[in-house]
Structure 1
Amino acid sequence: QADDDYYFAGEYTKVIPNNGDYEPVGSVLVNEEASERAFAGIDNDLRYHFNLPASLKPTDQLMVTFDANNLHNDALDPQYGIEVYFNNELVQEEIVIFPENLDTDYTTPPFTLESVGAEVGPGFDNIITLKGINYNADGGGNWMGIDYIQLDPIPQPVFPLAIGLDDDGWPVGDGGGINA
Structure 2
Amino acid sequence: MRAVVIGASAGGVQALSQVLPSLPVDFPLPVLVVVHIPPRRDNALVDLFAGKCRIPVKEAEDKEPLEPGTIYFAPPDYHLLVEAGGTLALSSDEPVNHSRPAIDVLFESAADAFGTGLAGIVLTGANSDGAEGLRAICAAGGQAIVQDPASAEVATMPRAALAACPNSQTVRVENIRQALEAMIAR
TM-score if structure 2 supplies the norm length? 0.25
**Greater helix content:** 2
Computing the radius of gyration from Cα coordinates, the structure with the larger value is 1
Where relative contact order (Cα < 8 A, 6+ residues apart) is larger, the structure is: 1
**Greater strand content:** 1
